[in-house]
Structure 1
């Protein structure tokens, strides 16, 4: 019998699988999330359009635009609910549409844990405005006061007369009314938001389960070619020579294109190099392997992690630029009964999202059209326009689903690569990064050294605190010259740290960047929290006191810390008002008290269990973590159990918040155990998950307990603030287990 070759594609497998489980998946969704390639609805004469975010058709269908990017955090399932609940819409008649990159939507950057906190009130006002117009029409028809009418269940109701009108019966007349000022429209009481705060269905779930969901690498256009790029291994490097003939001899390879090297500060520009354009991804990869490129590495070729670590240590050991000061620290140290000092190091980190960067571009006489898994479509639009020399109005950026982001996909260098190549070859081009590209050619979380010193009085009370922080700053990527950490970066765990000490000083020390420094999930909070929370644990050990009691003591009583107490005139505060989002020590204390209660802190420690505690405020959210560790059969540290309590203020989608915190624990475990990008000769030494591993299933505790504090405070961030306390909690638990103090990450490099 003749054998037949069967090609099974991932998408067709998922589609087949969806036949079996699709019914279950579809049952999870109320409302519809359009495929990621869908566009925001164009202005139409029919129906009611109160803003770029909302359109109600004459048949009653409500289209709500999600202007943020979906990367697993459930934002397309969360933000539209704010509009729908305020409007009184039935989610079964709501259509969620993904926005293209456009300044008309305001801030679209899905970064900085600000999607909900930045949109909570504005999107509610979008729904409230349309509701007011629909209610006004119904009230006029019934000749009753508008205050007696209620919009819910996709209709306006008048209880006294038991009359109701569906939205579709009101839309045409509502569209004739002037749109009221959104700021003047009354919002519903929070108690009337029926879905907000509870478990919400994942609207993209059915498409993901059935294989219909479109991620960046899934986009296909007629005549599309695929490209991979041989990029300079050292930032600032250039092509010296390559074997183009060998690459072009590979079957399927169509073109070789040299990409321009960055000019001036690298910013979001592509790194340059040689692109291999082919019929398939495999052909392009084989063609790239045949290039045998010789590089001129440039000025950063001497960058070496080992020597740079020593340079950072020297920088943190010397006085730096004073960024925050309270009292007289030097006098307090001179009078202290005891001083404690320690230095902490965290290496570069990579993002390694599940989906490596990819983008598709098509360029013609009308401009450029892009499909990309981008966290920041407006930045992608601007960078493509710059690269091609076009007006932004001629660039369209469609946002696909993202297979993770962590900050990497807010940097659109890969999108510009696709646009440049599409113009050059005269056909649609998909640029595909491999995992090796992702690990070796990304934007890296900054390497850092932190030096802390504490003065204690005769009773062991904290009387002085000095914190010196040294790391190449993010602005260096965009101005090419910054060496001192910015106030924005120091706001991430240092300027906003409220301590009950009368004498405190924070100094920023110089460090020059030799790679592209970028933001990664929770940014500088990672190394600031690691140093501060580890150091407080060291103070507790020096005093032979309970780390929980000492942590609460150094934080001081519940209060809202003022700028005067913090010793700074202006706090960046994640771009939020201190009046609305103060530095609330009481909220931080409460999550510490609750997480230690949940973990049975005192009893477990007395029983000999190795526990570590850490807490941190970031992105206007308060999180405390307790980690329990032991040793496995090979003598390696293993994380047995983690408890996390978070107070993020008002919550829209409880399940997604809990999932984000669980994911943050896994992410933090990866940072603590494995995370390290090291440089030799200016190039990244790691290549893939084999030498830049993330936490395996066997390294993640079977029990991760997450509790979300019920709060009516304004929404804080969710995606990032769970990460910072995880590594120091693990490090402190390791000390409890081994009496070895961890002052450097990751643990596996230390043999632990």
Structure 2
């Protein structure tokens, strides 16, 4: 815990862009991010948790030293560091709120300051995988409790009383026996001299005494700035002498520049320079694709200059990539045996003896992230030092990659994180920041690289394309006795290593090998699939195609057997139990230990039953309407969704109502859960209705919202109801940002079937219903 006495000059980032709460309080001397008067901070990769999580296994683990995260000014203002990136989830509020709760700080007197990228100092900063709360609920509580303990110890010494007789409450420490009180600011200097308590000796607050956590009464700290246009995003960064750049990149992944004519580009008013940008051989992780950069006095001139370039590309081997023929190859692979990644019983024999076999083949195309804010970065490289300003999800990873790319020490790189105008996984890949760093080094001046929407779509790290083929064998009574699921998709690992043709364990663990159904004969296979473009993680990742396939198949089985969808679903889930994954070689569980986060079918059944009750499953709906249901476990949370769809006589459809139940364990802010689930319903509907990126001659065929649309306000679900399962005692927190997306499409598809009798097995829906 730092003691703040004087305002200090802002670092490079804060001079130009203040990412802080609406109070606009000055940054004070000594805060960890300011770099002056910070005591050593131990990195605890194996600290004592109330339950074990995967946090300690993340790069650089977890830091729980209050001297790094908390600072108190003489006037009592408490500054708490936010070390995760804010992209709309509310994490920049939630994690500091946990600290404030435990240290008994008054939230109205708390200032939130964004951390720069430094994982040695702050611990892991990768803001993805729906991990922030599940990895940092306990560490943030420990930080707050340590700060509280140090304040109480300082007060006890000041008054000469036992520490057991004093208590922190509402931004001050009180001694009830004598009536004495001292504010946090008054105690700060003495508290800073106290040793940081051991983790084992900390006493956390009883949850019944929480003032903020779980109440849903705290707005996000950036709300006022966002709603009044004052919030600062990547594109808002301005520096003296800033140059503006856009880049023409190879239209085919792995392509190279052959030649270019820049004579017309240089005649565009405002254009100052045209230069080649280094590219890396594919696959190249997050390194730039290369191409031709146009440098100008403003972004508009740079874009006009780029439009005037005449470029000849060598498209390379991936020029053969075509979505139509590739889909056919995936379907062919799905109809043949593949690598067995889970095997229970004898599926071949059970299918052969089955009274009936139902087969479904489900297709999902590539998807683009299209966050509202396209990629953008500002870099200022001076000698062997680099400063970056960017909306990145992984500031620590960006720092590491910038250092490696420029060949400078990592300690010489400062990555300042702006607010993110959406992320969805795209902004955990820092290619745009590396482009800015390379150009700044070459030009000897600060440079902003701005991606247009077309750049964003054409050169994205796309969600994978996939075919999911499921065969379900039924006995004479209609019971499912066999289940074979073949999943064929190019892997994210192909972005990192040539020849990666099977999905990685973390992809297989997203709805394939972790199937929770109680079926005696169950087999999962993963045939080979080569990649011909950049594949990357996307909100919910492989859970999207897997939930679409599995839950659609449940609907198909229910129809074939004359059963209710919900009852069929519960029958397949089976008895309350912990799913045994001992037959799986590498049972990936979102990085979490299985003892803390097992697949618990009792919790899965609970969300189905809750949403069926609250969502009035089976209610009478008007003609042309239908109800569909789906359930899925992802990011160690359980979520079930009911969609009501209305289809008119021309095949146009709308969604009057959505009901979702989620069990995400212990939670911090229910308002943020509602917000994330509501957003997931909108995104899920948009992807199911319109989402498709296609290739011809190796090139993406879409470019903007005219041919890759997202749903508009008038197409969004009219009503979205969210029901949160109250956590059990000591139930650890789990993910919220991503789990809402996967069950939406199959619930919608099942609803469409109920309304029309038409079964959709390939997304997007597009015009498949129109007559």
Is structure 2 residue 75 aligned with structure 1 residue 82? no
Alpha carbons 2:171, 2:183 under 8 Å: kept:
yes
Give the 5 Å matches for 1:358-397.
Answer: 358-397=376-415
Alpha carbons 1:33, 1:203 under 8 Å: kept:
no
For the residue of structure 2 that corresponds to 1:437, the secondary structure is: helix
CA deviation after TM superposition for structure 1 residue 119, in Å: 0.6
Is structure 2 residue 61 aligned with structure 1 residue 68? no
Measure the CA separation in 1 of the matches of 2:572 and 2:513.
16
Is structure 2 residue 641 aligned with structure 1 residue 648? no
Measure the CA separation in 2 of the matches of 1:681 and 1:142.
78
591, 606, 617: which one aligns with 1:575: 591
Partner residue of 1:192?
209
Partner residue of 2:54?
none
For the residue of structure 2 that corresponds to 1:604, the secondary structure is: coil
Alpha carbons 2:90, 2:672 under 8 Å: kept:
yes
CA deviation after TM superposition for structure 1 residue 148, in Å: 3.3
432, 446, 451: which one aligns with 1:433: 451
CA deviation after TM superposition for structure 1 residue 637, in Å: 2.3
105, 112, 121: which one aligns with 2:122: 105
Measure the CA separation in 1 of the matches of 2:73 and 2:580.
49
Measure the CA separation in 2 of the matches of 1:606 and 1:436.
42
Give the 5 Å matches for 1:235-246.
Answer: 235-246=253-264
Alpha carbons 2:624, 2:756 under 8 Å: kept:
no
Partner residue of 2:748?
730
Measure the CA separation in 2 of the matches of 1:176 and 1:285.
56
Measure the CA separation in 1 of the matches of 2:351 and 2:27.
62
Deviations 1:99-154 (A, max 9, x none): 10011211101110011111111111111111111112222344443333221111
Alpha carbons 1:31, 1:203 under 8 Å: kept:
no
Of 281-290 and 144-153, the range deviating more from structure 2: 144-153
165, 186, 202: which one aligns with 2:182: 165
Deviations 1:214-254 (A, max 9, x none): 10000000010110110001001011222211111111101
Q: 1:311 to 1:206 in 2, by over 3 A?
A: same
Measure the CA separation in 2 of the matches of 1:607 and 1:600.
17
Q: 1:523 to 1:610 in 2, by over 3 A?
A: same
223, 229, 233: which one aligns with 2:251: 233
For the residue of structure 2 that corresponds to 1:381, the secondary structure is: helix
Measure the CA separation in 1 of the matches of 2:418 and 2:24.
19
For the residue of structure 1 that corresponds to 2:687, the secondary structure is: helix
Is structure 2 residue 639 aligned with structure 1 residue 623? yes
CA deviation after TM superposition for structure 1 residue 730, in Å: 0.7
409, 419, 422: which one aligns with 2:437: 419
Measure the CA separation in 1 of the matches of 2:706 and 2:628.
29
CA deviation after TM superposition for structure 1 residue 182, in Å: 2.7
Alpha carbons 1:31, 1:94 under 8 Å: kept:
no
Alpha carbons 2:246, 2:306 under 8 Å: kept:
yes
Alpha carbons 2:104, 2:168 under 8 Å: kept:
yes
CA deviation after TM superposition for structure 1 residue 570, in Å: 4.7
Measure the CA separation in 1 of the matches of 2:25 and 2:238.
23
Q: 1:98 to 1:249 in 2, by over 3 A?
A: same
Can you give the 5+ residue segments of structure 2 that lack an aligned partner in the other structure? 1-19, 42-64
Of 496-505 and 470-479, the range deviating more from structure 2: 496-505
**RMSD value, Cα:** 2.1
Give the 5 Å matches for 1:232-311.
Answer: 232-263=250-281, 265-311=283-329
For the residue of structure 2 that corresponds to 1:83, the secondary structure is: helix
For the residue of structure 2 that corresponds to 1:577, the secondary structure is: coil
Alpha carbons 1:266, 1:480 under 8 Å: kept:
no
Query: How many residue pairs were aligned?
Result: 722
For the residue of structure 2 that corresponds to 1:530, the secondary structure is: helix
Q: 1:182 to 1:300 in 2, by over 3 A?
A: same
CA deviation after TM superposition for structure 1 residue 55, in Å: 2.0
Is structure 2 residue 704 aligned with structure 1 residue 688? yes
Alpha carbons 1:34, 1:96 under 8 Å: kept:
no
Partner residue of 2:37?
44
Q: 1:156 to 1:39 in 2, by over 3 A?
A: closer
Partner residue of 1:708?
724
Measure the CA separation in 2 of the matches of 1:141 and 1:248.
71
Q: 1:749 to 1:421 in 2, by over 3 A?
A: farther
Partner residue of 1:153?
170
24, 48, 69: which one aligns with 1:53: 69
Measure the CA separation in 2 of the matches of 1:60 and 1:734.
58
Alpha carbons 2:384, 2:408 under 8 Å: kept:
no
Alpha carbons 1:126, 1:182 under 8 Å: kept:
no
Partner residue of 1:399?
417
CA deviation after TM superposition for structure 1 residue 58, in Å: 3.7
Is structure 2 residue 126 aligned with structure 1 residue 133? no
CA deviation after TM superposition for structure 1 residue 267, in Å: 0.3
Partner residue of 2:567?
549
Measure the CA separation in 1 of the matches of 2:306 and 2:24.
45
Is structure 2 residue 538 aligned with structure 1 residue 520? yes
Instruction: Please give the TM-score of this superposition, normalised by the length of structure 2.
Output: 0.91
Measure the CA separation in 1 of the matches of 2:40 and 2:381.
34
Of 582-591 and 393-402, the range deviating more from structure 2: 582-591
Q: 1:389 to 1:572 in 2, by over 3 A?
A: same
326, 337, 340: which one aligns with 2:355: 337
For the residue of structure 2 that corresponds to 1:469, the secondary structure is: strand
CA deviation after TM superposition for structure 1 residue 33, in Å: 10
Measure the CA separation in 1 of the matches of 2:255 and 2:176.
72
Measure the CA separation in 1 of the matches of 2:201 and 2:401.
37
Alpha carbons 2:690, 2:710 under 8 Å: kept:
yes
Measure the CA separation in 1 of the matches of 2:610 and 2:22.
34
Instruction: Please give the TM-score of this superposition, normalised by the length of structure 1.
Output: 0.93
CA deviation after TM superposition for structure 1 residue 687, in Å: 1.0
Give the 5 Å matches for 1:477-496.
Answer: 477-496=495-514
Q: 1:570 to 1:681 in 2, by over 3 A?
A: closer
Measure the CA separation in 2 of the matches of 1:189 and 1:559.
30
Partner residue of 1:114?
131
Measure the CA separation in 1 of the matches of 2:374 and 2:281.
25
Partner residue of 2:198?
181
Q: 1:39 to 1:86 in 2, by over 3 A?
A: closer
Measure the CA separation in 1 of the matches of 2:182 and 2:580.
51
Alpha carbons 1:674, 1:749 under 8 Å: kept:
no
Deviations 1:290-311 (A, max 9, x none): 0021211001000000000011
For the residue of structure 2 that corresponds to 1:182, the secondary structure is: coil
Q: 1:55 to 1:182 in 2, by over 3 A?
A: farther
Measure the CA separation in 2 of the matches of 1:163 and 1:418.
56
Measure the CA separation in 2 of the matches of 1:241 and 1:634.
51
Partner residue of 2:520?
502
Of 469-478 and 742-751, the range deviating more from structure 2: 742-751
481, 491, 497: which one aligns with 1:463: 481
CA deviation after TM superposition for structure 1 residue 180, in Å: 2.1
CA deviation after TM superposition for structure 1 residue 633, in Å: 6.8
Alpha carbons 1:99, 1:398 under 8 Å: kept:
yes
